[in-house]
Amino acid sequence: MNKYTVELTPPAVRAYELIHQSASNCIAAGETGGPKVLLLRSVDQVLDEDIAERPFEAGTPLCAELAGVYCATRDKAFVYYEPSRRPLTIAILFISSGPTKASHIERADAILAQILLSSGIQVLAPGMTARLAAN
Amino acid sequence: MASIPNSYINPNVRTVGVSKLRSMNASQLKGIDKTLVIQEYDQPLAVLLKYEEFLAMQRQLLAALETQVVISDPDELKSILAARKDLNAGNTRTIEQVRESLTRAKEKA
């Protein structure tokens, strides 16, 4: 018996169904160790083992307009969730396969570089920020 | 480097000389309740802060980064904001219900 009930919003249901369907097709084709199967396994582990057991330790709390939302990850699985109004219930808002797009990763690198440069940390790590700034 | 007023970030910041750092032992470091800017000849050299504060800063940085990554993907952000509206309207299904319907659909097919 899990400590928390996990419920899904419609966008999360659609994402889960898509991931489940892709993994099922791979399994039917004999690809039991393919990336789509592994993604479903990771999503299920995040839902059943992380969020259902220790939701507030398993994820990173977001901020600004996403304050109250947590993001838990395993491999390429990214699960966004927040506590429901119902007691001991966690609502899954969205599930994605993570920042796989090159532009997404480049954007994150640029943001990190910006934060480091604006905070003056480049004085402590000039090599690191030079590399980040070059990106 | 443009200097940042110590109190701008944390009113608990104190500026001390290197000799202060040399004089501190482990129990004094453990009990530190201020953030210390260590300087020599009026030149800031390093910052000493409570380990818990350092971890909190790291968490805040991570939260900002993670949030920015989501916000930079308009489709993902739109889905999350739509999901929050669904949640407020009570429009949710348990994971067990979702899995049951997937199993039923598979059996039918």
Whether the predicted pLDDT of B12 surpasses 80: yes
CA B73/CA B63 separation, integer angstroms: 16
The domain locations on chain B are 6-50, 54-108
Contact A79, B80 (CB under 8 A): no
Q: Residues of chain A with pLDDT > 70: what percent?
A: 72
Average pLDDT rounded to a whole number, residues A99-112: 62
8 A C-beta contact, residue B47 and residue A124 = no
Coil, strand or helix at B50: coil
Chain A neighbors of B73, CB-CB under 8 A:
99, 104
Paired sense of beta strands A77-83 and A89-96, if any: antiparallel
- Judged by a CB distance cut-off of 8 A, whether residue A94 touches chain B is yes
Domains of chain A: 5-96 (3.30.2310.20), 102-134 (no CATH)
- Per-residue pLDDT of A33-67, as tens digits, reads 889 999 999 999 999 999 999 999 999 999 999 99
Residue A2: the pLDDT is 84
Higher pLDDT, A20 or A122: A20
- Is A10 close to B94, i.e. CB distance below 8 A? no
Query: Is A135's pLDDT higher than 50?
Result: no
Query: Do A129 and B13 meet the contact criterion of CB atoms below 8 Å apart?
Result: no
**Beta carbons of A11 and A81 less than 8 angstroms apart:** no
Does this model's pTM top 0.80?
no
Asked if B67's CB is within 8 angstroms of A62's CB, the reply is yes
CA distance to partner chain B, nearest, from residue A66 (Å): 7
Predicted confidence band of residue A130 (pLDDT cuts 50, 70, 90): very low
pLDDT of residue A126: 41
